[in-house]
Amino acid sequence: MRTLDDLLDEGVAGRTVLVRSDLNVPLDADRAITDDGRIRASVPTLRRLRSGGARVVVAAHLGRPKGGPDPKYSLGPVARRLAELLETEVVLAEHGAQAKAAVEAMRDGDVVLLENMRFDARETSKNDDERAALARELVALAGPAGAFVSDGFGVVHRKQASVYDVATQLPAYAGGLVLAEVEVLRTLTGDPGRPYAVVLGGSKVSDKLAVISALLPRVDALLVGGGMCFTFLAAQGFGVGDSLLEREQIDNCRELLAGGKIVLPTDVVVADGFSAEANTRTVSADAIPDGWMGLDIGPESVAAFTRVLTGAKTVFWNGPMGVFELAPFAAGTRGVAQAIVDATTGGAYSVVGGGDSAAAVRALGLAESGFAHVSTGGGASLEYLEGKVLPGLSVLER
């Protein structure tokens, strides 16, 4: 695939370059950004293009609007933060006439951020013609000398107008962020250093079933925490109280456990309600009381997971060990994350697989530099590890 370096070697001065970034960041009730990691990750590619004299038009999305404008999903807060990081004005332009006028007014080095791409239902349409029509409008903004840079790794597993279809209509290049992510995932799927340990958390087994099945033959140990662990515990015949449970996945979990590589928690932190003010206690994983729910792995489990991670040469982590957003249930995630940092210090190659894991690293005050790589794309990373074809990458290889 052609790269950002190739585009810069060709020259971008005076050219309009459309960049698909992943700026889908979490906002609080006041629409303040609570984690700007993805915005910061987008900055290096944008800076390089600006330095080369490009007129940079950024396409991105935020949340899941219903295919029409919705103020609560506006990229306004993102535009302001991006402007701070780039130390330049970032014009936020609505689709249509406003975007056309904003691009026509650009000078070399200017940045325009298009309003949420998902405000146009064609962005995510399953109809190829509808997506292609929206892509043509984006291509028209770029003009005859335009180019497209794919730099939103978190969306490359989506066949969407601003991710896939634009790349079929403009000279397309992989941005620095996408290239870095692909290189990391090729390491994990190639010949990783051993022992190779994977830590998976999150809510549902069903969300991770495919990647667990794909990873088990390749790894030496797979540590399971988070809400998904309770379906595995149920598969062992344990009662799980009011913990999250996918009954329809119990048989699948039982089959996966038969391989002997999955390590489950031996103790859990339970509560009598889903609240930071709930009553809590730490119990054995086989003794969760009725009416109580497991919301974190316990200290004994953290110690056991740490022992596995201490000897690992490669570690992939995706998904928190508990409800880390609530203080009483953050210790498991913090303990496992620290174990991965310590393993990295000892020479392990560690990858944090984006999504909630990356957010947890920052929320818990851990330095990203403590890991070999912190990904921006949770779902995309998992689909790559599953062996799926990612449309936003395959289109760049044409």
Give binding residues for substrate as ranges.
Answer: 22-24, 38, 61-64, 118, 158
**Cα distance from N-terminal residue to C-terminal residue, the chain:** 7
82: nearest Cα among 21, 170, 161: 21
- Checking phi first, is residue 139 left (phi over 0); if not, alpha (psi -120 to 50) or beta? alpha
Q: Which of 204, 218, 254, 313 is catalytic?
A: 204
What is the Cα–Cα distance from 147 to 323, expressed in whole angstroms? 43
Give binding residues as ranges.
Answer: 22-24, 38, 61-64, 118, 158, 208, 294, 325, 354-357
Annotated catalytic, 40? no
Q: Which of 176, 377, 379, 392 is catalytic?
A: 379
Tokens of 290: 């009725």
Q: Which of 355, 377, 378, 392 is catalytic?
A: 355
Provide DSSP, 103-162: HHT--TT-EEEES-GGGSGGGG-S-HHHHHHHHHHHHHHH-TT-EEEE--GGGTTS--II
Provide DSSP, 63-78: S---SS--GGG-SHHH
Annotated catalytic, 72? no
How would you class 9 by CB atoms within 10 Å of its CB: exposed for 0-12, middle for 13-18, buried for 19 or more? exposed
Q: Which of 15, 38, 48, 55 is catalytic?
A: 38
Annotated catalytic, 38? yes
Give binding residues for ATP as ranges.
Answer: 208, 294, 325, 354-357
> Annotated active-site positions, please?
38, 204, 355, 379
